[in-house]
Structure 1
Amino acid sequence: MKHSPVAGDGGSRFTRRLRLEPVGPANADDLWLVHGDDEVWPWYAKEKPSREQVEQWAQAMGDSWRVHGVGKWIAYDRVSGEVVGRGGLGRTPVDDDWGRIYAFLPEEPWVRVAHESHRPSVVHANWVEIGWALRHECWGRGYASEIGRAGLAFAFDVLGVQAVVSCTDRHNMRSRAVMERIGMRDAGELWSEEFEGEQGNPPLAVRVLLRSGRNRSSATPT
């Protein structure tokens, strides 16, 4: 299924096996195939999202591309056109929650600088978060690493950010393996009182890749 790119997103991007299309409202059906997957949604929420929620996410992702110049992609198989998953980047809010990530970043002024656009919220200008989610039938084929490498290339070569961070459930060994495979460095765990003693809500494993360390990583686009 072919969709028109969201305005201002720079268009489609390609990896060896995937076509990456910026998410917007027109991609809501395809986004639902990913986040409605019964093997996927439990990693992101305590209950399955509604179709209406996914439509709102697609709208918000499209807004991110237009306002902040970055967002998530839907990944399609280049040959079959089938939906593989979603992934990409997001600018993180300047708030107390994301402020906890400062502990894993260099003590430099660029870390706290806000993006010039304050719509729809104030976000960081010089570092972004990377992530991915695949339909379960696509697991184990290296697609997440392909999306991750494309995301790192976009972050450093197009956006020109200073750092990329990634966070996942401590028990999500598949995602942690992808982070390591694409060259992100183990930074520790994000732990706070809200996680203590809450079964099923463990600390987050945090990995970081700095621009200065990129050449020593395996973050090479496929």
Structure 2
Amino acid sequence: MAVFTERLRLEPVGLANADDLWLVHGDDEVWPWYGNQKPSREQVDRWAGSMGESWRMHGVGKWIAYDQVSGEVVGRGGLGRTPVDDDWGRIYEFLPAEPWVGVAHEVRGPSVVHANWLELGWALRHEFWGRGYAAEIGRAGLAYAFDVLGMQAVVSCTDLPNVRSRAVMERIGMRYAGELWNEEFEGKLGNPPLTVCVLLRTHWVRSSATPAV
């Protein structure tokens, strides 16, 4: 089911959206934030299939953002259930020490994921940068997480040098929680730490900076 914001139509990603997902992740200003080389079209097709599977199995996933008037592909964004594994387990230090944090989703396939908190992100085609679309997608994601799915928290991460993305996180009401170092690659490949921002359900309810869409 599509979600509508002031300017955008947000459609759940699946295989049918692979061409549009490629427009985003094949953008030369976008892909360097996601890997050391430009993804192949086949790889993006696999991502589209995986995102569609997330919607089918876990009831949430990423959207493709279309301009409501022109129909142009603006970007990709939205929510994802994070795997219950050691990597995402390191996010626990930024969340409350409460039982809900470690609870796994009842559907255990294709992977075991967290039930009560989600990851939020966005990626825009370069021509649409600086026009407020990332914040529009982010607010829609928060509203969907808290008002539709009843989540307890939403987490968003970005590379420390990505100051534009962090600014969006703070603009939509998320709160800086700290930095997470990738110890495996630190000092080897020069990977920067991740900036982590969090919004708890209790703060969403009180926040006037992040109205439901």
Cα contact 1:146–1:221 (8 A) shared by 2: no
The CA deviation string for residues 106-160 of structure 1, in whole angstroms up to 9 with x for no partner, is 0000000000000100000000000000000000000000000000000001111
Structure 1 counterpart of 2:83, which letter?
Answer: P
- Once the two structures are superposed, residues 184-215 of structure 1 have per-residue CA deviations (whole angstroms, 9 ceiling, x without a partner) of 01000002422432454100000000001113
- Of the three residues 157, 166, 180, the one matched with 1:167 is 157
Residue 131 of structure 2 corresponds to which residue in structure 1? 141
After the TM superposition, list the runs of 4 or more consecutive aligned residues in structure 1 that deviate by more than 4 angstroms: none
Give the match for residue 91 of structure 1.
81
1:129 match: 119
Partner of 2:21: 31
What SS is found at the alignment partner of 2:76?
Answer: strand
**Kept in 2: contact 1:15–1:221 (CA 8 A):** no
The alignment covers a number of residue pairs equal to 212
Q: How does 1:64-213 map to 2 (within 5 A)?
A: 64-198=54-188, 200-213=190-203
The answer to whether the 8 A contact 2:147-2:212 is kept is no
Deviation of residue 14 (structure 1)? 0.2
Q: Specify the SS of the correspondent of 1:58.
A: helix
The SS at the match of 1:76 is strand
Partner AA of 2:119 in structure 1: E
SS of alignment partner, residue 45 of structure 2? helix
- TM-score, length-normalised on structure 2? 0.97
- 1:52 aligns to what? 42
Aligned-partner Cα distance in 2 for 1:158–1:18? 19
Return the offset for 1:221: 3.7
Within 2, Cα distance between the matches of 1:124 and 1:52? 28
The answer to whether the 8 A contact 2:5-2:140 is kept is yes
1:186·1:206 contact (CA, 8 Å) conserved in 2?
yes
Distance 2:20 2:119 in 1: 22
Compute the RMSD of aligned alpha carbons: 1.0
5+ long unaligned stretches in structure 1: 1-10
Alpha-carbon distance in structure 2 between the residues aligned to 1:61 and 1:194: 27
C-alpha contact (below 8 Å) 1:195/1:203 kept by paired residues: no
Is the contact between residue 65 and residue 77 of structure 2 (CA under 8 Å) also seen in structure 1?
Answer: yes
